[in-house]
C-alpha cells in the first residue's frame, strides 16, 4: 500500500474510531435521542402494546433522571411496528431504523418466562447489544416479581448504555463475611429474612434456612426475602423493585465483598463509578430544571427497497473481478433478497448507467430477468457519487429514499467520493459497502458507518469466496427470521490435475426450505456430484456458462441429514455455497450472527471476534466455531472461538463464542468469516434464567408477614431443554480496518490477557484451592511464562497495591497452554488466616517478554471452622491426607482437621447406606 493510500486510511480511521455498535442513539443536552424499540414480526397485532411501551419509557425517564443525579433522561423514542400489522395514518416510514440496529426488542415469550434481560458481549464499561422484553412483561404481568416496568427499564438501560452488571447472584446467593453468611446484595443496608422456599405442584412452602456445616453458608434453596418497607436507596442493579431504591451503589455504599458480576467484571468498582467514567457522563452536567416527557415516533416497516450499485470500471477486468461480482450479484438476486422486495440495478464507471428500474420480486422469472442486466464488459474510470446519485433517482421514481438500501461495490479509488456525503446523509437510505481488492476507496466505510449499513471486504483470492459471502450477508434487517436466507456452507479451493474438492453439508430440521447449492468456477465447468442423505444423486443443476456458475434449487423441504458433494477440476478455482431458509414459520432456525468489537484496529490494541449462536432464545452450546480472518494482502488466520467465560469471552455458556485477534500483518482492510459446526457434544440449552437481567424477587415481608410472589415458571417446553443438535453454518462477520501495523518482524507488544474467572475455596482449614483458565503468552494465544499470585486481608489494598501485597510461593507452577484449566493448591504463609478471616487473592500472568497482564478478578475465601460435633470424639486418627502440610500458626488446627476428616468420612458412609 502506497504512502498516499496509507495516509488516507489513517485519516478515515479518525472518523471511524469509537464506532462500537449499530445503535443510532445520540445524547443531546442530557437527553437520549433516537432510541429504537422494535416489535418483532412474530408478535400478534395489539395496539395496546404500543401504549404500554410509551408508558414504560415515560415512567422510566424521571426515575433515570433522579438516579443519575439529574444528568440523563429519555428524550425521543422510535417504535418500529411490523409490516404485517394494519397500517394507520399516524405510522410513518423508518429511515435508518431497523430491527437489526434496534436497542430494545419486544418478542414472544419463548422459554416460559417474562424475565427482561440485556445481551452483553463486552467488558465492564462497554455498551451492550440489545434489551429483550416480552409483551406480557409490558402488560404488567410480572409486576410482583420484577417491579414497575419503568424501573426495570432503567436497570436494563444501565446494562445496555454503560456496561455495568448485576449486583445479585442466582448461582451463589450467599458469601461469608467475617465468618457469618451474608446475602449477595448492594447495598448491605437492604434488610429482610433468610427463608427456604420449596415449590411443588403449584404450591410453595416457606421454612427456615439451614447452615451447611462444611461451608458455613445457607442451603441452596435459601433466599433473602426483602422487607417491603426499606430505607436503603441503593441499588438499582440489585433490586430496582424495592420502592426505596432510587439510585445506584456508589463508592461509599458499594458492597465490595459480594461475589457478583459487577465486582468480578468491574474490578470492585461500583455501578456509579463506572457510569461516572463513561463518555456520556463526561459530556454532561446536572440539569437545573426537570426534563420534558419523552416523545415517540411510530414507524411501520414497509416492503424492502434495494438498489445494487456495481462498479464496471476498467480495473474490474483484473483478477476475474467482473465475473466474480456478477456471480455474487446473481446469487443475491436469485436467493438472498426476499420475495416481495423491490430491486433496482445501476452500474458505473466514469458515469452511471441505469440497468433496471425498481422491479418487485414476485416470481423466479422476476429474479432471472434482473440477472440479465448485469454488466458483461468493464471499462472507464470510477465515479462512485454518480452511481449513488442514479440509485437515488431510481428509488425516488417509486418511493422516498427513506429506509431504502443501496449495495455499493467498488474496487477503485475515487478522490471525489466525499462530495456526495451530504447527499447520502440527507437521503435517509442505508448504504452497504463491498470493498473489492486492495485498492478500493479508503473512504468507502464512511458511507456504511454514517448510515448504519454493513461494511464488507473481499480480496482477490477467489478460493476464499469473500464476494459471495458478502452478498449472502445482505438479508433484510427487518424481515421475519423465517424469511431470512441462512448460509449453511461456503468453501473454495484451487484444484490442479483433476483434483477433487469433497465435503459434506448438514441440513438440520430447523432449515430446508428454498435450499440452494451454488457452484462457481474460473475457467470451465467442473464435474459436479451431489448426494442427499439417502444416497440419491441429485441432478438438475442449472448451468450458466456465461457467468461460470451452476446451481440447484432443492424442491419443497430438503431432506434432513448429511448431504455429500464432490467436485473435480483442473487448473482453476471452485467455490461451493449452500443456503436455505427456515423449515417452518413456527420453529426458529439455528442462526449464527458474527461481528467484531469495533470497526477499526489500531496496533497493538487487539480486536475481538464474536459469534452468537442461538435458536430463538435458546443458546447453542458446545459447537465448534472457527473464525477465518483475511488481511488486505491475502494472508488468512484461523481462530477457534470459545464460549468458556475466559479471555475475550464475557460469559460462559451463553451461546456467544469469542476470541482475541492479534495477528496483524499489514495496514488496511481485514475480512471476517465464521464457520460453526454442531455435533455430538452440541446442545440447545433451554434456560429460564439469564445473567444481565432484572432480579426476580421471591416475595416480600409486609407487616411482619411473608407474601410470596409467583415463582419463575418451570420450562415446560422440554423439547428445547439440552437437546442435542447437529448443524452447519457460515456467516460473514463484515470487515474492519487496521492501522499503525509496523513492518515485519512484528514486535511482541501483546501481554497475556486478564484472568477473569479466578475461583478460590478452602479445603482442610488451611489449604486454599485456586482454579482459573490459563491465559496465553499473547492475550489468549500461546502459553504464558509465569504467574504472580498475591493475597491480602484488605480487598482494596490488593486491588490498588498489588505489588505490595503478600506474594504466594508459586515454585513449580508452570503455566499451561492458553484456555486450559489451571489448579493450584497452597497454604497461606506470612499472613494471618484465622477463623472468620476474609482473604482476597489475585493473579497476574507474565509472558516471555516480561509483559504483565492486568490484575485478575479478585477471588475471596473465608476460613470457617465449625464448632466441634456434639457426638463423642472419635479415636485419634494418625495422619492427615498426603500433600497437605499440617504446619500452621492456628493453635489446635491439627486436631480440628482430624475431627473434621472423621465427620466427613462418617457422612460419606451414611450417604451410601
pLDDT score recorded for residue 466: 96
Confirm whether 63 is domain-assigned. Answer: yes
Annotated catalytic residue, options 156, 443, 630, 822:
156
pLDDT band per the 50, 70, 90 thresholds, residue 886: very low
| Choice among 524-538, 766-780, 818-832, 863-877 with the minimum mean pLDDT | 863-877
372 and 456, same domain (yes or no):
yes
**Is the pLDDT confidence value at 887 over 90?**
no
Confirm whether 335 is domain-assigned. Answer: yes
Is the CB of residue 765 less than 8 Å from the CB of residue 893?
yes
Q: Return the closest-CA partner of residue 189 out of 120, 236, 235.
A: 235
**Is the pLDDT confidence value at 3 over 70?**
no
pLDDT score recorded for residue 865: 73
- The percent of the chain in helix, strand and coil, each rounded to the nearest 5, is 20, 35, 45
**Is the pLDDT confidence value at 729 over 70?**
yes
Residues 394-424 have pLDDT tens digits of 999 999 999 999 999 999 999 999 999 999 9
pLDDT score recorded for residue 868: 62
313 and 294, same domain (yes or no):
no
772 and 829, same domain (yes or no):
yes
Confirm whether 824 is domain-assigned. Answer: yes
Cell numbers that stand for 496 in this block: 490442479
Burial of 566 (0-12, 13-18, 19+ CB in 10 A): middle
**Any idea which residue has 418483532 for its cell?**
40
291 and 368, same domain (yes or no):
no
Residues 646-695 have pLDDT tens digits of 999 999 999 999 999 999 999 999 999 999 999 988 998 875 456 789 99
283 and 160, same domain (yes or no):
yes
115 and 65, same domain (yes or no):
yes
* Number of structural domains the chain divides into: 3
> What CATH number does residue 798 fall under?
2.60.40.10
379 and 338, same domain (yes or no):
yes
Give the integer Cα–Cα distance in Å for 628 and 678.
18
145 and 116, same domain (yes or no):
yes
Cell numbers that stand for 473 in this block: 450477508
**Is the pLDDT confidence value at 197 over 60?**
yes
Q: Which of 437, 461, 485 is the last residue of a domain?
A: 461
pLDDT band per the 50, 70, 90 thresholds, residue 879: very low
Note the pTM of the prediction, 2 decimals. 0.90
Confirm whether 361 is domain-assigned. Answer: yes
433 and 349, same domain (yes or no):
yes
In percent, how much of the chain has pLDDT > 90? 82
**Is the pLDDT confidence value at 201 over 90?**
no
- Could you tell me which residues are beta bridge partners of residue 223? 195
Specify the pairing of strand 767-773 against strand 342-348: unpaired
Q: Return the closest-CA partner of residue 506 out of 482, 521, 528, 486.
A: 486
**Is the pLDDT confidence value at 725 over 70?**
yes
> What CATH number does residue 355 fall under?
3.40.50.410
pLDDT score recorded for residue 325: 98
Where helices occur in 738-864 by DSSP H, the ranges are 795-800
Average pLDDT over residues 758-772: 91
**Is the pLDDT confidence value at 196 over 90?**
yes
Residues 282-320 have pLDDT tens digits of 999 999 999 999 999 999 999 999 999 999 999 999 999
**Is the pLDDT confidence value at 889 over 90?**
no
| Choice among 186-195, 227-236, 347-356, 875-884 with the minimum mean pLDDT | 875-884
845 is in which domain, residue-wise? 759-863
Average pLDDT over residues 79-89: 96
| Choice among 161-175, 704-718, 728-742 with the minimum mean pLDDT | 704-718
Q: Can you give the three-state secondary structure of 730-765, one letter per residue? A: EEEEEEEEEECCCCCCCCCCCCECCCCCCEEEEECC
84 and 123, same domain (yes or no):
yes
Residues 825-842 have pLDDT tens digits of 999 998 887 787 889 999
pLDDT score recorded for residue 650: 92
Q: 357: helix, coil or strand?
A: strand
296 and 332, same domain (yes or no):
no
Q: Is 445 a catalytic residue?
A: no
Q: Who contacts 746 (Cβ-Cβ below 8 Å, separation ≥6)?
A: 664, 665
292 and 331, same domain (yes or no):
no
Amino acid at each position: 500500500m502506497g504512502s498516499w493510500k496509507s495516509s488516507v486510511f489513517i485519516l478515515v480511521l479518525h472518523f471511524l474510531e469509537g464506532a462500537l455498535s449499530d445503535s443510532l442513539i445520540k445524547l443531546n443536552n442530557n437527553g437520549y435521542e433516537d432510541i429504537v424499540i422494535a416489535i418483532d414480526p412474530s408478535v400478534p397485532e395489539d395496539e395496546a402494546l404500543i401504549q404500554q411501551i410509551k408508558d414504560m419509557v415515560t415512567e422510566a425517564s424521571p426515575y433515570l433522571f433522579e438516579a443519575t443525579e439529574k444528568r440523563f433522561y429519555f428524550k425521543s423514542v422510535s417504535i418500529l411496528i411490523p409490516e404485517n400489522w394494519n397500517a394507520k395514518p399516524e405510522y410513518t416510514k423508518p429511515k435508518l431504523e431497523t430491527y437489526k440496529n434496534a436497542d430494545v426488542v419486544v418478542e414472544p415469550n419463548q422459554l416460559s418466562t417474562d424475565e427482561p434481560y440485556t445481551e452483553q458481549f463486552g467488558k465492564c464499561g462497554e455498551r451492550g447489544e440489545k434489551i429483550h422484553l416480552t409483551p406480557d412483561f409490558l402488560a404488567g404481568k410480572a409486576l410482583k416479581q420484577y417491579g414497575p416496568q419503568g424501573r426495570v427499564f432503567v436497570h436494563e438501560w444501565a446494562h445496555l448504555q454503560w456496561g455495568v452488571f448485576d449486583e445479585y447472584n442466582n448461582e451463589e446467593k450467599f458469601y461469608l463475611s467475617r465468618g457469618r453468611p451474608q446475602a449477595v446484595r448492594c447495598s448491605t443496608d437492604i434488610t429482610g429474612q433468610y427463608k427456604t422456599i420449596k415449590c411443588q405442584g403449584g404450591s410453595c412452602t416457606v421454612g427456615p434456612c439451614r447452615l451447611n456445616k462444611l461451608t458455613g453458608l445457607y442451603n441452596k434453596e435459601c433466599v433473602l426475602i426483602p422487607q417491603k418497607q426499606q430505607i436503603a436507596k441503593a441499588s438499582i442493579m440489585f433490586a430496582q423493585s424495592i420502592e426505596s431504591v432510587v439510585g445506584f451503589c456508589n463508592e461509599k455504599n458499594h458492597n465490595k465483598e459480594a461475589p457478583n458480576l459487577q465486582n468480578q467484571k468491574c474490578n470492585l468498582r461500583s455501578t456509579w463509578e463506572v457510569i461516572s467514567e463513561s463518555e456520556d457522563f463526561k459530556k454532561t452536567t446536572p440539569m437545573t430544571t426537570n426534563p420534558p416527557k419523552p416523545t415517540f415516533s411510530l414507524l411501520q416497516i414497509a416492503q424492502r427497497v434495494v438498489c445494487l450499485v456495481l462498479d464496471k470500471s476498467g480495473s474490474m477486468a483484473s483478477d476475474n473481478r467482473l465475473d466474480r461480482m456478477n456471480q455474487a450479484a446473481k446469487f443475491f438476486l436469485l436467493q438472498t433478497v426476499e420475495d416481495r422486495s423491490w430491486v433496482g440495478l445501476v452500474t458505473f464507471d466514469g458515469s452511471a448507467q441505469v440497468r433496471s428500474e425498481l422491479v418487485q420480486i414476485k416470481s423466479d422469472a422476476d429474479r432471472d430477468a434482473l440477472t440479465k442486466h448485469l454488466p458483461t464488459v468493464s471499462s472507464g474510470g470510477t465515479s462512485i457519487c454518480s452511481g449513488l446519485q442514479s440509485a437515488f433517482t431510481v428509488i425516488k421514481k417509486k418511493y422516498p429514499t427513506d429506509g431504502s438500501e443501496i449495495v455499493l461495490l467498488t474496487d477503485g479509488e475515487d478522490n471525489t467520493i466525499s462530495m456526495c456525503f451530504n447527499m447520502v446523509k440527507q437521503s435517509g437510505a442505508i448504504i452497504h459497502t463491498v470493498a473489492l481488492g486492495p485498492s478500493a476507496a479508503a473512504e468507502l466505510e464512511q458511507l456504511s458507518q454514517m448510515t448504519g449499513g454493513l461494511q464488507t471486504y473481499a480480496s482477490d483470492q477467489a478460493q476464499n469466496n469473500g464476494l459471495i459471502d458478502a452478498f449472502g450477508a445482505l438479508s433484510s434487517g427487518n424481515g421475519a427470521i423465517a424469511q431470512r436466507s441462512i448460509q449453511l456452507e461456503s468453501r473454495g479451493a484451487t484444484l490442479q490435475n483433476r483434483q477433487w474438492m469433497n465435503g459434506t453439508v448438514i441440513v438440520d430440521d430447523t432449515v430446508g426450505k428454498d435450499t440452494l447449492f451454488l457452484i462457481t468456477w474460473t475457467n470451465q465447468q467442473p464435474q459436479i456430484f451431489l448426494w442427499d442423505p439417502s444416497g440419491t444423486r441429485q441432478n438438475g443443476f442449472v448451468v450458466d456458462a456465461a457467468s461460470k456458475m451452476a446451481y440447484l434449487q432443492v424442491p419443497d423441504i430438503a431432506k434432513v441429514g448429511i448431504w455429500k458433494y464432490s467436485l473435480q477440476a483442473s487448473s482453476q478455482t471452485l467455490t461451493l455455497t449452500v443456503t436455505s431458509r427456515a423449515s417452518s414459520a413456527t420453529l426458529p432456525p439455528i442462526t449464527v450472527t458474527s461481528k467484531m468489537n469495533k470497526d477499526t484496529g489500531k496496533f497493538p490494541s487487539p480486536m475481538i471476534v464474536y459469534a452468537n449462536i442461538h435458536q430463538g432464545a435458546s443458546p447453542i452450546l458446545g459447537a465448534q466455531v472457527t473464525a477465518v480472518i483475511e488481511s488486505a494482502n491475502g494472508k488468512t488466520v484461523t481462530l477457534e472461538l470459545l464460549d468458556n467465560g475466559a479471555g475475550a469471552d464475557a460469559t460462559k455458556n451463553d451461546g456467544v463464542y469469542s476470541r482475541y485477534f492479534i495477528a496483524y500483518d499489514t495496514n488496511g482492510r481485514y475480512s471476517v468469516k465464521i464457520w460453526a459446526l454442531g455435533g455430538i457434544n452440541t446442545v440447545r440449552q433451554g434456560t429460564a434464567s439469564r445473567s444481565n437481567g432484572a432480579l426476580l424477587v421471591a416475595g416480600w415481608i409486609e407487616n411482619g408477614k411473608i407474601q410470596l410472589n409467583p415463582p419463575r415458571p418451570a420450562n415446560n417446553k422440554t423439547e428445547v431443554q439440552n437437546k442435542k443438535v447437529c448443524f452447519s453454518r457460515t456467516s460473514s462477520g463484515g470487515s474492519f480496518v487496521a492501522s499503525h501495523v509496523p513492518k515485519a518482524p512484528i514486535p511482541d507488544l501483546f501481554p497475556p490477557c486478564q484472568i477473569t474467572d479466578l475461583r478460590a475455596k478452602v479445603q482442610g482449614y488451611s489449604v486454599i484451592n485456586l482454579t482459573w483458565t490459563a491465559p496465553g503468552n499473547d492475550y489468549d494465544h500461546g502459553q504464558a511464562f509465569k504467574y504472580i499470585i498475591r493475597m491480602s486481608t484488605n480487598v482494596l489494598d490488593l486491588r490498588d497495591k498489588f505489588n505490595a501485597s503478600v506474594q504466594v510461593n508459586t515454585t513449580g507452577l508452570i503455566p499451561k497452554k492458553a484456555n486450559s484449566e489451571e489448579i493450584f493448591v497452597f497454604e497461606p504463609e506470612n499472613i494471618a488466616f484465622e477463623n472468620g478471616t476474609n482473604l482476597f487473592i489475585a493473579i497476574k500472568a507474565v509472558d516471555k517478554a516480561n509483559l504483565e497482564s492486568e490484575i485478575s478478578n479478585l477471588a475471596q475465601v473465608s476460613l470457617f471452622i465449625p464448632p466441634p460435633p456434639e457426638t463423642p470424639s472419635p479415636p485419634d486418627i494418625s495422619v492427615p491426607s498426603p500433600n497437605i502440610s499440617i504446619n500452621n500458626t492456628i493453635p489446635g488446627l491439627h486436631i480440628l482437621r482430624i475431627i473434621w476428616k472423621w465427620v466427613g468420612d462418617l457422612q460419606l458412609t451414611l450417604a451410601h447406606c
